[in-house]
Amino acid sequence: MISRRNIRVKVMQTLYTQASSEGTPVPASYQKVLQSHFELTRSLLLYLTYFLGQIARFSEKNAHQRASKHLPTAEDLKVNIKIAGNKILWKIWEDESYKKAVSAIKPGQFLDEELVKKAYQKLCESPEYRQYISEESRENKQEKEILEFMLENLMLNDDDFINHIEELFSNWSDDGEMIVLLLDGFLKKTSHINFTQMLGDDKAEFARILLQTVVEKSEHLESLIVPKLKNWDPERIAQLDMILLKMGVAEFLYFETIPPKVTINEYIDLAKDYSTAQSGQFVNGILDNIHKELVQEGKMVKVDFRK
């Protein structure tokens, strides 16, 4: 589910957090911090899914409230609750991994009922919803399209909802796009999402070993980087840039399946997005020089550092 780019971001953030902490972190703490980053990503996916479902279920709550009036009108007694029976939502609600994740994380504790009510009211006013409830059938295409409309227009294009998400999830800027694509892809294809595991075995191993490699080989990686800094004082280089350089060189040396060109491009992008304005060019130059030297000296032999 999570891309390698997002994995690199979380490894980078873990290394930066530990480097900025007081004292010397114990090795086991690195993996614990990394896991907490992945858990936050899982919580974000779960909450977006949960909120979408709560908009649909608000139709039942609204129908009950209106029918319970002292003198309900005919309109109050015929509120359409078709959306609450959406087949795709029920597929999610009945999924065991979703049930387990909801039980463990309890997304309801973060729910803003007023935002749900506001989203439902906007839904009822939309022509897309009126068209949806005008048909009694439950065609898959209709079920998908109304949920896609809700996600895009009632949640992602609503400033109040985005502010709500940003307050709850510090990782929204890092993971939001990926999570939205994942959820949108599920709605389109109704494929399975495992809400209890955000990483497959291969990617979990990549994350764990990349972090472990940089931590355990830190001095060796730095010994390859510092000579290339020329007029730069290593102590004055942005801490994040040094972390990205170490991660890049670690991939050069120890990750057999990742082409060096891919590594360089990935860390240029990360430097541009997360460090200073000049960092992309700086990281590009240093990694390119180190790569060329390793090739010239015949040291570009990728071997898992544990071997």
What DSSP string describes 100-127?
Answer: HHHHHH-GGGG--HHHHHHHHHHHHHSH
255's tokens: 């990750």
What DSSP state is assigned to residue 147? H
Of the candidates 290, 276, 195, 287, the residue with the CA atom closest to the CA atom of residue 237: 276
What are the tens digits of pLDDT across the range 251-305? 999 998 999 999 999 999 999 999 988 899 999 999 999 999 999 988 777 665 5
Taking residue 255's Cβ as centre, other Cβ atoms within 10 Å add up to 20
What pLDDT, on the 0 to 100 scale, is given for residue 304?
A: 59
Our CA angle for 173, 178, 182, nearest 5°, is 140
Residue 98 has pLDDT above 90, yes or no: yes
Backbone angles phi, psi at 164, to 5 degrees: -60, -45
Q: How confident is the model at residue 71 (pLDDT cuts 50, 70, 90)?
A: confident
Q: What are phi and psi of 72, to 5 degrees?
A: -65, 145
Please give the pLDDT value at position 21: 79
CA 143 distance to own-chain centroid: 25
Distance separating alpha carbons of residues 51 and 148, to the nearest angstrom? 13
pLDDT of residue 72: 75
pTM above 0.75, yes or no: yes
Which residue is listed with tokens 């993996």? 31
Neighbours of 78 (CB within 10 A): 11
Q: pLDDT-derived band of residue 16, with 50, 70 and 90 as boundaries?
A: very high
Q: What is the pLDDT of residues 152-208, one digit of tens each?
A: 999 999 999 999 999 999 999 999 999 999 999 888 886 778 899 888 899 999 999
Share of the chain above pLDDT 90, in %: 74
Neighbours of 286 (CB within 10 A): 25
* Contacts of 180 by beta carbon, 8 Å cutoff, 6+ apart: 48, 151, 156
Query: Averaged over 232-243, what is the pLDDT?
Result: 80
